Structure 1
Amino acid sequence: MKYIDFPQNVTSYYVNHILVKELHDTLLTGESDFTFNLSETVYFSALTLPNLLNIGFISKINLKNKIILITPQNTKTTQFLFNHNFFDICNQYDLFDYDERFVGGFSTQDETSISQTVFVPMTGFADKNESFEYILRHLKKSFTIYNRISNASEFIVILSELCCNSLFHGNSHCIITSSKANTKFPTMNIAISDTGFGFLRSIMRHKSHNFFSTQELSSNDCFTNLRAIFEAVFYRYTSEKYGLYSVLRDVIQKNGAFRIHFNDTQIIFNNSNCAQLKNFQSKLENSFIRDYFHYLTKEYTPNNRLESQLRITDYKLAGVHIEMEIPWYEA
């Protein structure tokens, strides 16, 4: 049994990098039983919840083990997880072993709450448009935030498109968390995560690709998954159809931030670093995408992960994981 003591502050960086690396290194030793100890944790970032829940899914399905979760009694941490539907999802899908006596008795959030976690199951629809419409209805019903924000319809469309990609292309459920950030300017923090095929397998089903050759996408260098991310993100760059690029564009236009992770690679888009992307856009489409790719790979330094726009690790997390920070306005 491997005991992992969570830190006082559980951030997205901790879960996506430190925790995942520890799980990876432990599995290499042959140990697959884990206990997560939250006794010392006083702060949880809402952005961590989809990946944490999906780690529970991966352990249960792939390792045939449920992770033990030690939750302190009557603490803000346990209440935070409770109010974000964490334990509801755990109970519904039999994730994590924890002492239920320590969970409950908390005051629930009211209907105007803007911090929630929602599980979106597979739809079973063969048509992507049908899937999108189903997800759109599901999210409108599930997120009470829909009646609190003046730009709520745009917010729901963005989430629906990302969910649809997980279900339709990744062949996976997805989990979404939204939470108001306590910052100077009202911001909605959103995380969405799945455990699906990921970009590369989906892209390689096609005989031709937009920006990189099959040989480049099949290479064994450290930038293969970055190429797959580029193919997926910029696939509809010139299309009027709403897609992943449309989501990225809308988030950046709203002065937000967009982080996307696949396998061992994460890239961060915001207004600051997207200025360099815009510098390449005077060229032909395929050319500027490749130029931007080469710019990122040339600037990449493995030992500067915290500050780099591009992060590549020697450990992997299944699926696609997206984090967004979007300005919001109360209706």
Structure 2
Amino acid sequence: MGDASAVTATGLVKKFGGRRVVDGVDLTVPTGAIYGVLGPNGAGKTTTLRMLLGIIEPDGGERSVLGHANPRAVSDSIGYLPEERGLYPAMKARDAIAFLGALRGLDRKTGRARAAAMMEEVGLGHAVDEKIRKLSKGMAQLVQLLGSVVHRPALLVLDEPFSGLDPVNQEKLEAFILAERDRGATILFSTHIMSHAERICDRLAIIAGGKRRFEGTVDDARGMLPQRVLYTPRDPGDAVAAALPRDAVRDGAVWRFELPDGGIEPWLATLIERGHGIAGLSIERPGLHEAFVSIVGRDAIEAAGEPVAPGMAA
């Protein structure tokens, strides 16, 4: 795809102890997009990102990062937030950010100036000279994130960036990722939390068992499942059941069923004709979490030790 793709991977394979942790994964990350790699714990997300970054070498397949087959050749144009966080606890926050920038070729004076400005932008201006060990976990994580972008990389790779953050800092991180995309950076991040991906991803891939199971937009994923109708008749009795589709299930006064192939209008006409009336009616689209469960499978998610919400598609 040439300049249209910041990252491509074809048939990536990685084995550990004879087991294929990543088994033929293909990815295409458009330049300037926010691209999520989703999957349950142990799906192979971190290993895939590390191969793309050149931290570990694949046992098979090909990759291209910012136009280079060797990711290390463009390391100064990449920002990386690893899943395992780590900063020098005795270092001051501003200096820690400048230090991480220096590892990517940024001079210390510029790094310190940018660090102070960026910390102010995310509400940490009061902590520029605080030592890392005195910061809360969420504050320290934001400092490390700033350190990964202080050199203004073309590609930002974040491994489970929302892990361990409280809701306020998760919201800050989402806003920060969107701002980086608007600046022109390409964002590639892994997560097993669907809500973040649903809100901010331009495209995403779903990986399970080391294999890519889906690639496309959030709407593409949600569109794999039918929409649902939530209907409340004026008469709460059971007589209305005969006029409803066979898959209709009653939950209190509300009936739920899949949107019929012919649309809702013929069904509404039948209800009105039979005198059941309409006290409430809505059409509900499945969320990304439901699509994820349908694509990956309930057993695979539960095997990874993650909860599956009741009523989610299997």
TM-score normalised by L of structure 1: 0.31
Structure in which a larger fraction of residues adopt helix: 1
Structure label with greater radius of gyration: 2
Q: Does 1 or 2 have the higher relative contact order (CA < 8 Å, sep 6+)?
A: 2
